[in-house]
Structure 1
Amino acid sequence: MNLTLPTWLTLLRIVMIPVLVLAFYLPYKWTNFACAAVFGLAAITDWLDGWIARRWNLQSAFGAFLDPVADKLMVAVALFLIVQGHPTPWMAFWAAVIVGREIAVSALREWMAELGQRAKVGVAMIGKIKTTVQMIALLCLLYSVTPGQQKTSEIWLGEPVFHLGDWLLAAAALLTLWSGLQYLWAAWPSLKVDEQAARKKVKSKP
Structure 2
Amino acid sequence: MTGFEKVKNFVLTPNFMTISRIVAIPVIVILLMYDTKITTFIAAVLFSAASITDYLDGYLARTRGLVTKLGKILDPMADKLLVSSTLVMLVSLGFMQGWIACVIIGRELAVTGLRCVLIENGQDVAASWLGKYKTGFQIAAVIPLTLHYSYLGIEFNSIGQFFLYGALIFTLWSGLDYFIKARKFLSL
Q: Place the TM-score, normalised by the shorter chain, in its bin.
A: 0.7 to 0.9
Mapped pair 1:98 → 2:104: yes
Once the 2 structures are TM-superposed, how far is the Cα of residue 52 of structure 1 from its aligned partner? 1.0
Q: Is 1:170 matched with 2:174?
A: no
Shift of 1:153: 6.2
Distance 1:37 1:130 in 2: 20
1:131 aligns with 2:126: no
Give the drift of 1:138: 0.3
- What does the per-residue CA deviation read over 1:95-145, in whole Å, with 9 as the maximum and x for residues that have no partner? 1110000010011111222233x31x431001101111110100010111x
Following the alignment from structure 2 to structure 1, what is the Cα–Cα distance between the partners of residues 104 and 172? 8
> Moved runs in structure 1, 4+ residues, more than 4 A?
153-156
Aligned with residue 143 of structure 1, among 124, 140, 147:
147
Residues 15-49 of structure 1 show CA distances to partners (whole Å, capped at 9, x for unaligned) of 00011011112365411211111101100111111
The answer to whether the 8 Å contact 1:141/1:161 transfers is: yes
Which residue of 2 is the match for residue 122 of structure 1? Answer: 126
| Contact kept? 2:28, 2:43, Cα under 8 Å | yes
Could you tell me which amino acid in structure 2 is paired with residue 133 of structure 1?
Answer: F
Q: Deviations over 1:146-187 (max 9, x none)?
A: xxxxx426555xxx2101101211110111110011010101
1:147: which partner in 2? none
Percent of aligned pairs sharing the same letter: 38
In the alignment, is residue 184 of structure 1 matched against residue 179 of structure 2?
Answer: yes
Measured in 2, the distance between the counterparts of 1:48 and 1:65 equals 16
CA distance change for structure 1 residues 61 and 37 in 2, over 3 Å: closer, same or farther? same
Whose radius of gyration is greater, 1 or 2? 1
Q: CA RMSD in A?
A: 1.9
Indicate how the Cα distance of structure 1 residues 181 and 29 shifts in structure 2: closer, same or farther if over 3 A, else same: closer
Rounded Cα–Cα distance in structure 2 between residues aligned with 1:16 and 1:191: 36
- The one-letter code sitting in structure 2 at the alignment partner of 1:190 is F
Q: Is the 2:37–2:147 Cα contact (8 Å) retained in structure 1?
A: no
TM norm structure 2: 0.88
The verdict on how the C-alpha distance between 1:184 and 1:15 changes in structure 2, with shifts beyond 3 A counting, is same
Change over 3 Å in CA distance of 1:171–1:154 after alignment to 2: farther
**1:10 aligned onto 2:51:** no
